[in-house]
Structure formats: structure tokens, C-alpha cells
Amino acid sequence: MDIKTRSRQPILVIDDDPGILDLFVHLLGSNGYAIDTAKNGSQAISKARKKFYPLAFIDIVMPGLNGLETFSELKKISPKTRAVMITGYAASDLIEKSLDSGAYACIDKPFQIKAILNLSKKILQKKL
């Protein structure tokens, strides 16, 4: 998948930590992906109503709507969006529920940059 192909595939990153959002924007953006960010679940849902995202990275533990609640709402709006849950906490019940609800994967913070790139490429290469 070349950079031109990747740039047509937007990714939504949802996290209440501005540093994580900046990391994803820099990391994935510099590799040809179009990155949109949301600092909470409500903002993510609003963005998903206006644009299709084939991939979303969703923080599990956030104020307001948690990641599982956000994922549940995103699935209603956009059933074909694939979600990767991210967490820096021991939230095993939310992780398990997210995976049972159809999340593609769950990764722990701090994560390996190469793992994010490889996972993004792998998910976006699969047909929806």
C-alpha cells in the first residue's frame, strides 16, 4: 500500500490525552494517513456522523463516555468501522467487553510505534 492509497483512508483517534493525539497525528500522518482526532466520545460521535472512518483508535478509559460506550455508538453510526482499543490502565472488564463487542484488537500504552503502523496497515488492507 503506497502513501497515495493510505492518504485516502482516514483514521479517527479518540483519546483524552493530547500527547497521545499528537503522537498519532505525527506518526500516522507522516506515513500518509489522514488523521482526525477527538478528545472525547461525544466529539468522536459527532465526527463519525459527518465522515466515514475505516479505522478508529479508541482510548478505553475517558471521562464522559468511556471507550466501550463510544465504540458502541460508533458501531450504530458506522458498522464497518474497525476499532482498536487502547488503554494505559488495568481495565480488563472493559477490554473484554470491547473485544466481545467486535473491537479488532486492544493494545496497551505505552505501545510500540512500529506496532501501530503495522496494525493500521494490516487493518486497512482488509476489505470492509
Q: What is the pLDDT of residue 91?
A: 62
| Fold held by 3-125 | Rossmann fold (3.40.50)
The residue among 63, 68, 56, 64 whose CA lies nearest residue 14 is 56
The whole model's pTM is what?
0.88
DSSP secondary structure of 50-116: HS--SEEEEESS-SSS-HHHHHHHHHHH-TT-EEEEEESS--HHHHHHHHHTT-SEEEESS--HHHH
* Other beta carbons less than 10 A from residue 11's beta carbon: 23
Hey, where are the domains in the chain?
3-125
Quote the CA–CA distance of 120 and 36 in Å, as a whole number.
14
pLDDT band (50, 70, 90) for residue 58: very high
pLDDT band (50, 70, 90) for residue 6: very low
Residue with more model confidence, 61 or 128: 61
pLDDT in tens, 70-106: 999 999 999 999 999 998 776 677 778 888 888 998 8
Beta carbons of 85 and 108 less than 8 angstroms apart: no
Q: What is the pLDDT of residue 122?
A: 92
Residue with more model confidence, 3 or 105: 105
Beta carbons of 59 and 86 less than 8 angstroms apart: yes
Q: Hunting for cell 506515513 — which residue is that?
A: 31
Give 66's strand partners. Answer: none
